[in-house]
Amino acid sequence: MKSAILFIYIFLNSIFVYTQNSTGQVITEVIHSKALEHQVEDSPDRKVSIYLPPGYDMAITRYPVIYYLHGFMSHSDINDQMKKILDTAILMKKIKPFIFVIPDEFTTYEGSFYSNSSLTGNWIDFTAKELVDYIDQHYKTLANKESRGLGGHSMGGYGTIRIGMMYPDVFGTMYALSPGLLALVKEFSPESDSYKELSKIKTHEELNKTYYPKVIVAVARAWSPNPDHPPFYCDLPFTYHGDSLITNQRILDLWNRNLPTKMVDQYADNLKKYNGIKLDWGRNDFPRFHLQCMMLSQQMEKIGIEHYAEEYIGNHTNKLWTIDGRVLNDFLPFFNDHLKF
């Protein structure tokens, strides 16, 4: 009788241990950023979601890290969704175990655009320096560029390419999912109605009821801040006097310095240091994504930057964190193939 009870105990305990070790865990930390201390509207204390693979606590091994940058109007709070997809990817052997990090770079105006700004804070420095240093110091990472990946969606795809261009000695592989604002085309071109709509908006409350004008203000606060220009404290490349479009060439030049399609030549040598680069976009996404992704891909191709560029059947959000989506079936396997484990 005692033997039978002992057997049942061991059996149930083994099931419990297997279950515990077959799934990862998500930890939420708060990191204080010195790079963000000078801005006044958003806290320099940033939440960071960290996925640790199954068996992490007992492992003596070290892991590659993928840093994932979220999109505009998105928080890093996708823990349940993230854990499910990452656990599935490991269980299906699409990837080997790794650490996955999502920093919260949401701001009062919905997004930092992963840029350094005298007004909104130095988000590039936070992401590429402080965050990476913190994760390496506190977790079992392989602390080298060959074992670090950088990826993101939409605004986060922009941040991936922008930061990736600047920090090829920090990251070794990058993947941009439907990256935004690679060029001023379609909804963000001067031919659109976006700037005319914005010219009529005078308050934060009015701005919050819009989409494209709100994005433009967030971008302007990142790329062309002006503390003497209320109510949004930034300058725009295109404004209106009545129905007449006015171009401010000085501000447009500032914006062009931040657009990846304008930055490729300058950072070509850096891009050539990567083990793998990929961008994709949905065929049924907003028209600007197909156009600007093709522009960037063609420019990189012309100057010999090896990369992958792919159009898939989907829109801006329906093929991301799902079982049939890009993260599980394309994004993660790409890093698995190009990162050093």
Please give the pLDDT value at position 238: 97
Please give the pLDDT value at position 197: 95
**Collapsing DSSP states into helix, strand and coil, what is residue 173?**
strand
Using CA atoms, how far residue 88 sits from 193, 328, 329, in Å, is: 43, 8, 11
> pTM of the prediction?
0.92
| DSSP result, 12-57 | HHHHHHHHHHTS-EEEEEEEE-GGGTT-SSS-SEEEEEEEE-TTGG
Please give the pLDDT value at position 18: 40
Residues of the chain with pLDDT under 50: 1-2, 4-20
Dist. CA 333–CA 330, nearest whole Å: 5
Please give the pLDDT value at position 295: 98
Encoding tokens for residue 178?
Answer: 């439907």
Please give the pLDDT value at position 79: 66
Encoding tokens for residue 168?
Answer: 């090829």
Please give the pLDDT value at position 76: 54
Using CA atoms, how far residue 147 sits from 103, 138, 158, 188, 295, in Å, is: 18, 16, 21, 36, 29
Dist. CA 72–CA 286, nearest whole Å: 15
Please give the pLDDT value at position 75: 66
246, β-bridge pairs: 239
Please give the pLDDT value at position 74: 75
